[in-house]
A and B are shown apart, each in its own frame.
Chain A
Amino acid sequence: MKRSSTRGALLAGIAATLLASSGLASAAAARPAAVPADSSAIVRGAHFSPDTPGVDVYLTAFAGGTTSLWLSGVGYGDVSPYQRLAPGAYTVAMRAHNAPASTPAALSWVLNARSGQAYTAAAVGMNKQLHGIILRDELTPPGTGTGLVRVIQAASRAPQATVTALHGPVIAKNAAFATSTAYATVPAGNWPIRASSLTTPSVATSSDLRIHSGTVTSIVLLDGKPTGIAIRTVVDAAGAAIAPIGAIPAGGGGTAPRPGPAWAGAALLLGGIALAGTVGIARRRTRMPTAR
């Protein structure tokens, strides 16, 4: 009798463990998958054409959207604030400032805005070669203690320009007018930077670049007023200077189900098996009363 109960408990324990683990598995399966991205894209507009007057910028969604005036009176060197946008394909159109929306666009190009991404829609080049580009703005975290920096080369007076951090990295080497470089990693800190034209080294300018850890920055190289070239710095994105490692422990377990179900399952099976065992032994006993 005692042995039988012990064996029953053992079996029940195994069964309960199986039950509990299968229960865990189903609970895990029932949990919805994580959502990796935000439901919107982020976009800003910019005017990088030195001899093009102020423009108005319009956005039209491919998906049956109406045209809406996005930015008004954007001049050379202007970079708009970022704005959230439903993901999808858009036409970006530019008209002369205050030109009626019904007039043909002076320039239009396509923006494929993806969820969780950031973009700069810019008009670049001299007016005769004016064209629209879409820059993808980096949102990948830079390494700890560093920032990411690129150069948007919009200075026609420096057909090829080099941008260097003093005693630091070369951020752009011979970048052509109307192009943008890839992002370079720059250690956090205050950097004196110098930009100069490859063909005419006297066409040059200096500035200070402040890089915070975890940030993403664009250096915009522009034609100066009235001469020379100028540097403008815009922050593309900011993140935590130091990202904590790993997950966040934020619960004491006071509302979590106690490890009861497995125990109860064991009790259930133990009970059932004990019952069956008891009956079985009782039967055996009645049949073979003198076996032992």
Chain B
Amino acid sequence: MARTAAWSLVAIAIGVILAAVGVRAAVHPTSSPAAMPPPGAATPMATTTQSGRGLGALPPLPHGPTGPAHAAPRAPAQSALPVRLTIPAIGVDTPLEHLGLLPDHTLRPPARWDEAGWYADGVRPGDPGPAVIAGHVDSVSGPAVFYRLRELRPGAVALVVEQSGVTLRFVIDTVAAYPKNRFPTARVYGPSPLPELSLVTCTGDFDWNAHSYLDNLVVTAHVTA
């Protein structure tokens, strides 16, 4: 009897410890979306027209000093191939493998745990449109190249070095997790007027049967001059 009781106590102790680990895992931050502005007033789909001169309901234009003209950065016609990604805030410094499609048209993940890859059938970083760089969050035994991606916050900087030696500077806009069965394909790969960059890794719970994480972490950034 005493032996059974002792075993029970051991089991309880193990249970408490593991439960604590479980709780920690549950509250582990998986994403941190940037504040989303409230939806604006309804905008007509096609065109709104407002006649000139008859200013009608428009508020009067404030007079006074004007700010400087904004020189919008013009994207180079064709950027050079990206060869390296560094994200100082989270200690990422990785060469970039070229990623393509698997026969089932899904993205082939990077071959190495410790190196990120650029989707080479997509948009080049620095060209108008969304460039995509993927990296593993962990290997089978420990952290991988994008393990700390979840720590990124809007305003952080990601640098892409081109084969030409030029360094492109991207500023993080959003950090968000998406269930893999609702991956935001249009957002990650769809048309964009300006050069953008998406950094993608895994996050969320790990399905030990499928040996796969349930969510993707998507970090979006825009290029700055």
Contact = CB atoms under 8 A, between A and B. Distances in A.
A139 B190 contact: yes
A134 to B, nearest CB: 5
12 contacts: A31-B215, A39-B154, A39-B174, A66-B66, A70-B69, A141-B185, A252-B140, A254-B143, A270-B11, A274-B7, A275-B4, A278-B1
B11 to A, nearest CB: 3
A223 B18 CA distance: 75
B77 to A, nearest CB: 10
A250 B67 contact: no
Interface in B26-47: 26-27, 30-37, 39-43, 45-47
Contact of A251 (B18, B59, B188, B206): B206
Interface string B121-158: 11100011110101111111111101100000010000
Given A109-B48, A246-B183, 10 more contacts: A66-B66, A69-B67, A69-B69, A115-B37, A135-B47, A244-B105, A250-B137, A256-B205, A270-B11, A271-B12
Interface string A18-44: 000001101110111111111110101
A174 interface: no
A260 B4 CA distance: 22
B8 interface: yes
Interface string A125-168: 00000111111111111100000000000000000000000000
B189 A243 contact: yes
A237 B191 contact: yes
Contacts of A28: 205
A288 interface: no
Interface string A45-88: 00000000000001010100011111110000000111110011
A291 interface: no
Interface residues on B, range: 35 or more
Taking each of B11, B41, B58, B74, which has the highest tally of chain A beta carbons within 10 Å of its own beta carbon? B11
B164 interface: no
A196 interface: no
A169 B44 CA distance: 27
B180 interface: yes
B204 A31 contact: yes
A24 B5 contact: no
Q: What are the nearest 4 A-B pairs in CB distance?
A: A268-B15, A271-B11, A264-B18, A261-B22
B216 A238 contact: no
A39 to B, nearest CB: 6
A255 B123 contact: no
Given A84-B222, A109-B49, A255-B143, A91 B128 contact: no
B21 A93 contact: no
Given A242-B101, A257-B25, A237 B192 contact: yes
Interface of B: 1, 4-5, 7-12, 14-19, 21-23, 25-27, 30-37, 39-43, 45-53, 55, 58-59, 61-70, 72-75, 101, 104-107, 109-110, 113, 119, 121-123, 127-130, 132, 134-144, 146-147, 154, 173-174, 176-178, 180-194, 200-202, 204-206, 208, 211-213, 215-216, 220, 222
A32 B140 CA distance: 26
A289 interface: no
Contacts of B154: 39
Nearest to A124: B49
A253 B138 contact: yes
Contacts of B220: 38
A249 interface: yes
A235 interface: yes
Nearest to A257: B25
B205 A240 contact: no
